[in-house]
Structure 1
Amino acid sequence: MAILQAPPPKSSPGRGRKTVRTLGELLITAGLVILLFVVYELYVTDVFSAEKQANAASTLEGDWAKGRELHPELIDGQAFAKIYIPTFGADYHFTIQQGTDEKSLEVGPGHYKGTALPGEPGNFAVAGHRVGKGAPFNDLDLLSSCDAIVIETQTDFFVYRVLPHADEIAGWATGKGRDPKCRRVSTLRTNAQDGGPYGQTVGREVVTPDQVTVIAPVPHRAPDLLPPAQQVALLTLTTCHPQFSDRQRLIVHAVLTNQYPKGNGATYAQLLQALGEG
């Protein structure tokens, strides 16, 4: 008759196999952690920032309705203006906070302290996130020359338009510069040799993070190059570049072309119609 025999003992995995399995488990865990972090940065922070943005807008509108004077003493972290970019849709709008610290930028775009205020000669400079935390400047690279950027304050709407891009300057006068919406947009150059004080100021550029002179009163120039009375009223928007990286900065420069007082309850929708972009 057959004799029952115990099965041979299972061989234990070697040390190398255990190491590979442990390493694999660690990589999977690390991958999940990274995935959760990405989800948090891309989506969860957007939810938090949307709530903060709504609160900031409500507070700002309440201050304006009460006639509170917000200038010239701006308060760190508090909103004092709004930004609209018609190219991004009629619903695109964010408050602008005073300061560019992380707490301010979690609410929305932030004003570089020490730069000009809306409508003033010099350079009104604003920073914003490109990914996560509301990502107000996610599509900044899609702006074209002459596209409008509207800044609303307690008393006025200021319309800035993106300056010519570097590859458009040579043929601007006979090319795109003839477009009706470009009527008040020039290259800002004053001579053919060096372009004058604004010879390095173009509508879009990519720089390294240490090139802080892009937000100088005259971009890329010494702060005291021109007295305020001779400075052009500019708007500069800055954000990280490329997307998902802070290795560089994407810069958009725009020039003030119109100012509309907010008399008789004027609204942004009415302004869009006046601009022919509604």
Structure 2
Amino acid sequence: MAILEVPKSSGGLGAKIVRTFGELLITAGLIVLLFVVYELYVTDFFSAKKQAGATTTLNEDWAQGRQPHPELIDGKAFAKLYIPGFGADYHFTIQEGTEAAALEVGPGHYKGTALPGEPGNFAVAGHRVGKGAPFNDLDLLSSCDAIVVETQTDFFVYRVLPHSDEIANWSTGKGAQPQCSPIGTLRTNAADGGPYGETYGREIVNPNEGDVVAPVPHKPSDVLPPAQQVALLTLTTCHPQFSDRQRLIVHAVLTNQFPKMADATYAQLLQSIGEA
């Protein structure tokens, strides 16, 4: 039986242009998809291996009693970070420096800022997407949430400061809850709230606002002598997710310090601070 042959339509120049443009869009879409897969999964895989290696090295150094007060070396881990609210398996080593190589391993300490437990501002940066994404959920932290930093000799417990909309009624509102009892607003009776009048538990800033990691956030370095500075922890990451247009900042204040005994564990610490 004869088969009728349907004549092909050339479509002309316009059809060719549309077809070519469509093919370009498909190609571009595939490239973007591959990039997203690489950023979300491939870099996570490599960072997880680097993080595991850094943790092993740090544990070995601590077990052998090396450098209880270590010299900070670029890219070398010197402390651990825990956020109890993110689950028992949330823990990362903190590397010295915020260069790309250090942040591929895990959170990085801003050079020149305070060390854990010291007066001033212990400031740490971390990726929010890809490369282990240690700070992916930073926006979920609420005031009073605990953030724990472990060094070779101590556990330091910081708690997130009041958010801007909680300041006015803090003492009679959330601040009256038991877990918030060690936390004040850091404000004075001055009209501007004093040196810490611009320090909140969470803020969104532009990338050029580096003074969020100053000893007293948003203030000149000499606004207070070191002896009068509060011991703060500041975590920084990109904002919004999948963008580096701005920075998400979390400020927390030191509320407890626990010297580590020979058999001290993080789990025991959580029980002692009511986070188990």
Same fold (TM over 0.5): yes
Q: 1:68 aligns with which of 63, 66, 69?
A: 66
Contact preservation (8 Å) 2:199, 2:251 = yes
- Where do 1:25-174 residues align within 5 Å? 25-69=23-67, 71-174=69-172
In the alignment, residue 219 of structure 2 is paired with which amino acid?
R
Question: Which contiguous aligned blocks of 4+ residues in structure 1 show a shift greater than 3 angstroms?
Answer: 7-13
Assess if the C-alpha contact under 8 Å between 2:148 and 2:158 holds in 1: yes
Distance 1:229 1:72, change over 3 A: farther
For 1:128 and 1:9, how far apart are their aligned partners in 2? Answer: 61
- Preserved contact between residue 70 and residue 80 of structure 1 (Cα < 8 Å): no
RMSD: 1.6
What SS class does the counterpart of residue 171 from structure 1 fall into?
A: coil
Structure 2 match to 1:265: 263
Counterpart CA distance in 2 for 1:271 and 1:33 is 47
Equivalent residue number for residue 23 of structure 1: 21
Quick one: distance in 1 between partners of 2:6 and 2:26? 34
CA deviation digits over 1:69-119, x for unaligned, max 9?
163511100100000000101111000000001111111100000000000
Separation in structure 1 between the aligned mates of residue 237 and residue 64 of structure 2, nearest angstrom: 33
- Aligned equivalents of 1:56, 1:257: Cα separation in 2: 28
Hey, what does 1:224 align to over in structure 2?
222
Equivalent residues, number? 274
The more displaced of 8-17 and 171-180 is: 8-17
Give the deviation of 1:57 after TM superposition: 0.4
TM-score by length of 2: 0.96
5 Å matches for 1:209-220?
209-220=207-218
Distance 1:199 1:24 in 2: 55
- Percent of pairs with identical residues: 78
User: Quick one: distance in 2 between partners of 1:29 and 1:115?
Assistant: 46
Contact 2:47 2:105 in 1 (8 A): yes
Please give the secondary structure, in 1, of the residue aligned with 2:262: helix
Is the partner of 2:60 in helix, strand or coil?
Answer: helix
**Displacement of 1:185 after TM fit?**
0.5
1:139 is matched by which residue type in structure 2? D
In structure 2, distance between residues paired with 1:203 and 1:231: 17
Instruction: Look up the SS of the partner of 1:164 in the other structure.
Output: coil
Give CA deviations for 1:110-156 in whole Å, capped at 9, x if unaligned.
00000000000000000000111111001111111110000000100
Match of 2:147, as an amino acid?
I
2:188 maps to amino acid: T
| TM superposition shift of 1:11 | 5.3
The alpha carbon displacement at 1:9 in A equals: 7.4
CA change 1:232–1:8 in 2 (3 A) is closer
TM-score, length basis structure 1? 0.95
| AA aligned opposite 1:212 | G
In 1, the alpha carbon distance for the partners of 2:108 and 2:7 equals 69
Equivalent residue in structure 2 for 1:197, among 172, 195, 201: 195
CA contact (8 A) 2:79 2:149 kept: yes
Structure 1 residue 187: Cα displacement: 0.2
**Hey, what's the Cα distance between the residues in 2 that align with 1:9 and 1:58?**
70
1:13 Cα offset (Å):
3.6
Shift of 1:14: 1.3
In structure 1, C-alpha distance between the alignment counterparts of 2:169 and 2:54, rounded to whole Å: 43
Question: Over alpha carbons, which structure has the higher Rg?
Answer: 1
- Distance verdict in 2 for CA 1:209–1:123, change over 3 Å: same
SS in 2 for 1:259: strand
- Measure the CA separation in 2 of the matches of 1:214 and 1:116: 13
